[in-house]
Amino acid sequence: MNSLAPLAPGCVALVGGGPGDAGLMTVAGRAAIEQADVLLVDHLAPSGALAWAGSAAEVIDVSKLPRGAFTSQERINELLVEHARGGRRVVRLKGGDSFVFGRGMEEVLACAEAGVPTRVIPGVTSAVAVPALAGIPVTHRGVVHGFSVISGHVPPDDPTCGLDYGALVGSGTSLVVLMGVANLSAIADELLVHGLPADTPAAVVARGGHPDQEVRAASLDRIAAAATGIEPPAVTVIGEVARFAVPTLAPFHPALLEETR
């Protein structure tokens, strides 16, 4: 596969736009934007990347905002198919990676059903990049050997949540929570109930990669209070690695100090 091959007319390219700073997009993503006749763009996609589009390209905002503009997924699927059938090169620009809580596969399947060819250009997911932009590695040798990325969109006590919080605690991995601002207090409580120690470090990183990026760090039992007033989008990291967020918060874990020397 050649991700830089020219886009054919009538094709849809699903482009992962990274966490918001256009500089964190892939070369293939940029090339697709440059060739696009029409771009369907989410609110979390990097707006700076639109400067790479041709002057004749049409830009359609298909944001799904909880309060504000809203385009249904069905309508987005229809628009992708309609524009591709019109012989245009369509770029679907999303935040992060299209397949991480991005409904990207639904769009690929809708196109496939309509006989529209698609190309998937992966993006830098905020699950890894946003912690990194705040200095937090999601793994760290000798400290944590994996990370779990979960959606915090549905509260833990909701039957449709679908996550086993006991298993997450038992996994010993760093926990990365997306879409979790509104439910942060309930998520922290659930982790505490399942035995994660109250002094586990945690950090909330809001608007990662944007000029107004903001980081709040505290122990797990205090993180919800510390994050009061934080507005989405934000990524929460829970686990020893979150100590790297604010070095003054607490003395570094001796193991971390050893590792970083």
For the question of residue 64 being annotated catalytic, the response is yes
Catalytic residue among 21, 25, 37, 42: 42
For the question of residue 1 being annotated catalytic, the response is no
Nearer to ligand SAH, 19 or 156 (CB): 19
Which of 22, 44, 120, 204 touches ligand SAH (CB under 6 A)? 44
Binding string, residues 132-171; x marks residues near ligand SAH by CB under 6 A: ----------------------------------------
User: Which residues within the stretch 87-106 sit at the binding site for ligand SAH (CB under 6 A)?
Assistant: 94-97, 100-102
Nearer to ligand SAH, 37 or 152 (CB): 152
Asked if 125 touches ligand SAH (CB under 6 A), the answer is: yes
User: Which residues within the stretch 8-27 sit at the binding site for ligand SAH (CB under 6 A)?
Assistant: 19-20
Smallest separation (angstroms) from ligand SAH to the CB of 55: 28
User: Which residues within the stretch 197-226 sit at the binding site for ligand SAH (CB under 6 A)?
Assistant: 205-209
Smallest separation (angstroms) from ligand SAH to the CB of 105: 12
Phi, psi of 59 (to 5 degrees): -110, 125
- The residue behind tokens 């944001």 is 63
For the question of residue 42 being annotated catalytic, the response is yes
Catalytic residue among 64, 97, 158, 189: 64
Q: Give me the active site residues, please.
A: 42, 64, 179
Residues that bind ligand SAH (CB under 6 A): 19-20, 44, 94-97, 100-102, 125-127, 130, 178-179, 205-209, 232-235
